[in-house]
Structure 1
Amino acid sequence: MRANAPPSHTDVLLFMPPYWDVYGDIDVRKIGFILPSLGVAYVASYLKGNGIKVRLVDVACAIRSEEEVASTIRELRPRMVGITAVTAGMPTVHRIAQITKQIDPEIVVVAGGPHPSALPADTLEEPAIDLVVEGEGEVPLLELARGTSPEAVPGVTFRGHDGGIVSVPRGPLLEDMDALPVPLFDHLPVHDYGYLVLGNALPVLSARGCPLPCTFCASTVVNQRRYRARSPEAFADEIRWIHSRFGIDSYVFCDDTFTLDQKRTVALCEELLRLDFPIRWSCMIRAAGLRRSTLAIMKRAGCRLVEIGAESGDEEILESIQKKTKLHEIRTTVDRAKGVGLLTNAFFILGLPGETPETVKRTIDFAASLPIDFAQFSMFTPLPGTASWDQVEESPDMECIANDWSDFSRYRGAIVNSTALPARELEALHRSAIRRFYFRPATAWRSFRRMETLGDVRRLLHQAASVARMARLRRPQSAG
């Protein structure tokens, strides 16, 4: 920093931008669907454990305005600001970077996360961003915080002296997951976070990465399809520590696929059953080959909600996106989950490459035929770094019609126009899917039956209002 500047209070200030940009007009805070970025919390803890003075700020919960962002930077006076980013949140990242440079041009601004990792040179087109960290952030950010020159840090992209883009190849991924410290949730409003039926909850992770080849998934941008698991003992110890420090007893297991290795899933659940306090949790599961016995021990270990990436109700579309799952497997897994008493949430993507109005309608019919408690219908959004992104760019029959990165919300509007399925027709089908699934007696009855507390009732009312907005329902005006 400048010679006449006051001494730095913080080495690194990490911002978590609000991820609800992904959800368009839905207020995720009101429906109990807001969590801190676990990846950033791990990076913060890793830095702290290596002697770096770090502060983590969640813009989603703790900061409500640009003025508060500026005030935080002035108060903490960091040498470096790090900002994580998904695609739809890039305009927010740009604004935080600009505010930082307006306060002190000498502060080094670093962007990381899925979007900058996929498009590092594009990210550096914003002048207020100095460096991009690609992939996992722990090791590169630690080296930068220690003052190592960017050209000597694997995975860093920056502007060279001539203004050209310089990219240092990524280093190896972290292998020993048990060596990771507990994520840093200090200074975060931990009791403001929550997830669907769990109420107040925090995220935890038992494994990083996923080896599956789904064409639309951006997880590979950071984890390169490498699956790296923690031991059951280390995972349970982390939950013990979080529970003792914050009193949290509900958790979102953020593994890409918690049941990828069912033998390991059972071992994890056996370890959770040894905890001396009860917990509730949710996780993502894989439908293919999931045994009833695995779901049963998950239920006994505290699982309340399982989430399934169903994606489509058309076999050919599932095959084209390399989902490696059949429709009958999805139905069987839902039935087994319901049979052991688990709540279920299924994700569907409408408008995938190759879709027609008929295939989308088959997906809507399939979703309505399943005894699931929740369904999330998103519109196909090709994310940078995925095979789907390349497919849209190369296809003469598909065109991305987004104006900027903020349009890359999966729920606000269609951004891909295809010959077989125009964007406006896809949006109409999206509204139809929401109405078809949620505005029927079976869904209302399942929602009523799971009510346990006044908080559940409040969340349900907010969820109903959000669903109505997404479906763009309009009450006829009174004749007065």
Structure 2
Amino acid sequence: MPSYFNAGHHSPLYMVAGHLRRRPQPGRVDTCEAGTLSMNWKGVGDLLYQGRYDVIAVMNDFDAVDGLARFAEYARALSPQSRLITFGRLSSLNPGFFRQFDLDAVVQSGDYECGVAHYVNALAAARPENAGATGLPGVAVRHGDHWREPAGQGDRLAPEEWSLPDVSEIPYQDYDRFYSRDEHKFCGIPFRRELVVPAARGCPVGCEFCEVPDIFGLRERRLPVDTVIDYIRDSYARHPFEYVAFYAPTFTLDRRWVHQLCERFIEGPVSPQWKCATTVHHLSEELVALMGRAGCVRISVGLETLEEAGQGVLPRNKRIEAERFRSLAQWCTGAGIELNAFIIVGLPGTSIQGASRTIELARSLGARIRPTMYTPYHSMTGEMTTRQVSRFNRQLITDDRSVDAADDDRGAGRQRAADARYALLFGAEERLTDVHERIPKRTAP
């Protein structure tokens, strides 16, 4: 059960599958996205028993490890010939944690596609017990009672080598259900179907609370504009998508690329409504206006905090003053774009009062806000229990001892201070988006 849902976070499942299908003699590659609340354990058991898979690649994430041990138990009982490998955001940041589970391999660095393919290729080329005997780039492999460490860092793909998701196998009806409740503050737009376009990987901004640089590197890799246009056109012809979500850590990092894309959208015939995420620093009044003319309906920015005491934790180009954010809100209003502000509660150096003021200011400017809990990924260790790791989900306080009772101006203690933080994340939300009203409904092609 996901604590947060972003369809972009799920796209690696389909990109890894597409990459495996491009291997010589790929065999059959199936996908099953059981994390959308559309399956039960009987259905998982049916799939494992009837599938008779050689390899099962399990995607992991920060908030979805609670069922991993149970899944491995089912797989060993119902498909004992299968080899189990896991890949994903959590294993890339805390690979040692996964060595406690009944798995055969863990992708712990590099692009996920490369790690899984290395392991599958090793199995195809050798006896199972010898797969990865000399080490694999970015992949730890179990041999008996011990683990063989990776043979160096994992590989990275050029954007031209990415296999974009096959829209025919993605359960969009389940995604629609998640996004219909805007008070949950998921990333999608309610009542409209979203096409995710994984446009870029990597980010040089370097926020210490973000996993992107550690997993995908500080150098950005970005799809060619022509590839993006072709993918949108082909996907819209196959499915009734109503807007595009660009999945990129800092969408406007390459302004020249964004200008080229916007000009293509304005010229047509591919002219979707769309949304993106970026930083305040990487936007200008001229660029926001161009994006609005090109169909952009929402820009999400990492505002994080406007509290001066918390600015020192942020990279220099993320230190934003209230007036700068006020200007951005005005630009977005003028361009007909909804501004969505990511705000971090519990950021070191900040207070409950400061976080509340940041949220209140953003709301007063008409912005949709999405608060998350500060999550220090760098403090995870491989010795942690599943319960401990499950708190690193941007919703729970990872360590209650980190809550200073001084956060509570009534001095009522640590629990009340924690409750004050949770009130900002889980309290009733009255301001719901209306951006879907700007996006026309479509019927099936």
Mean alpha-carbon deviation: is it higher for 201-210 or for 407-416? 407-416
Residue of structure 1 in register with 2:40 after alignment:
65
Displacement of 1:297 after TM fit? 2.0
Does the 8 A contact of 1:63 with 1:69 survive in 2? no
Displacement of 1:110 after TM fit? 0.7
Aligned partners of 1:323, 1:84: CA distance in 2, in Å? 34
- The residue type paired with residue 377 of structure 1 is P
Residue of structure 2 in register with 1:44 after alignment:
17
Residue of structure 2 in register with 1:426 after alignment:
418
Does the 8 A contact of 2:253 with 2:282 survive in 1? no
Aligned partners of 1:120, 1:403: CA distance in 2, in Å? 16
Residue of structure 2 in register with 1:14 after alignment:
none
Please state if 1:179 is matched with 2:161: yes
Which residues of 2 match residues 151-190 of structure 1 at below 5 A?
151-161=134-144, 163-174=146-157, 176-190=158-172
Residue of structure 1 in register with 2:128 after alignment:
none
Distance 1:36 1:435, change over 3 A: closer
3-state secondary structure, aligned to 1:83: strand
Aligned partners of 2:366, 2:358: CA distance in 1, in Å? 14
Q: Determine which of 284, 288, 292 is the counterpart of 2:281.
A: 288
Displacement of 1:367 after TM fit? 3.0
Displacement of 1:451 after TM fit? 4.4
Displacement of 1:124 after TM fit? 1.2
- The residue type paired with residue 292 of structure 2 is K
- The residue type paired with residue 303 of structure 2 is A
Aligned partners of 1:417, 1:307: CA distance in 2, in Å? 31
Residue of structure 2 in register with 1:332 after alignment:
327
Percent pairwise identity: 23
Aligned partners of 1:324, 1:452: CA distance in 2, in Å? 32
- The residue type paired with residue 382 of structure 1 is P
Residue of structure 2 in register with 1:364 after alignment:
359
Distance 1:402 1:115, change over 3 A: closer
Aligned partners of 2:193, 2:165: CA distance in 1, in Å? 17
Deviations 1:159-185 (A, max 9, x none): 3445245233223422x2123233233
Gaps spanning 5+ residues in structure 2: where?
A: 126-130, 177-187, 408-413
Aligned partners of 2:388, 2:33: CA distance in 1, in Å? 24
Does the 8 A contact of 2:17 with 2:30 survive in 1? yes
Aligned partners of 2:112, 2:398: CA distance in 1, in Å? 32
Q: Determine which of 88, 110, 114 is the counterpart of 2:63.
A: 88
Please state if 1:382 is matched with 2:382: no
- The residue type paired with residue 156 of structure 2 is L
Distance 1:48 1:432, change over 3 A: closer
- The residue type paired with residue 208 of structure 1 is R
Please state if 1:129 is matched with 2:110: no
TM-score relative to the length of structure 2: 0.82
Distance 1:296 1:247, change over 3 A: same
Distance 1:91 1:433, change over 3 A: closer
**Aligned residues between the structures:** 407
Residue of structure 2 in register with 1:230 after alignment:
223
Deviations 1:171-230 (A, max 9, x none): 3422x2123233233332234434224711121122111111101001123202221112
Q: Determine which of 58, 61, 75 is the counterpart of 1:100.
A: 75
Please state if 1:266 is matched with 2:259: yes
Mean alpha-carbon deviation: is it higher for 110-119 or for 135-144? 135-144
- The residue type paired with residue 119 of structure 1 is N
3-state secondary structure, aligned to 1:251: strand
Aligned partners of 2:325, 2:77: CA distance in 1, in Å? 52
TM-score relative to the length of structure 1: 0.77
3-state secondary structure, aligned to 1:355: coil
3-state secondary structure, aligned to 1:260: coil
Mean alpha-carbon deviation: is it higher for 157-166 or for 244-253? 157-166
Aligned partners of 1:244, 1:453: CA distance in 2, in Å? 17
Distance 1:366 1:451, change over 3 A: same
Residue of structure 2 in register with 1:410 after alignment:
394
Mean alpha-carbon deviation: is it higher for 400-409 or for 350-359? 400-409
Distance 1:313 1:369, change over 3 A: farther
Deviations 1:31-88 (A, max 9, x none): xx65671122111111112242211111134742111111111222211111111222
Residue of structure 2 in register with 1:110 after alignment:
85
Gaps spanning 5+ residues in structure 1: where?
A: 1-17, 394-399, 456-480
Distance 1:246 1:198, change over 3 A: same
Distance 1:181 1:275, change over 3 A: farther
- The residue type paired with residue 394 of structure 2 is R
Aligned partners of 1:434, 1:293: CA distance in 2, in Å? 36
Q: Determine which of 33, 37, 56 is the counterpart of 2:31.
A: 56
Distance 1:49 1:448, change over 3 A: closer
Aligned partners of 2:334, 2:390: CA distance in 1, in Å? 41
Distance 1:337 1:138, change over 3 A: same
Does the 8 A contact of 1:270 with 1:301 survive in 2? yes
RMSD over aligned Cα atoms: 2.9
Aligned partners of 1:414, 1:84: CA distance in 2, in Å? 22
Residue of structure 1 in register with 2:179 after alignment:
none
Displacement of 1:309 after TM fit? 1.0
Displacement of 1:304 after TM fit? 1.0
Please state if 1:351 is matched with 2:351: no
Distance 1:403 1:45, change over 3 A: closer
Residue of structure 2 in register with 1:12 after alignment:
none
Aligned partners of 1:49, 1:197: CA distance in 2, in Å? 35
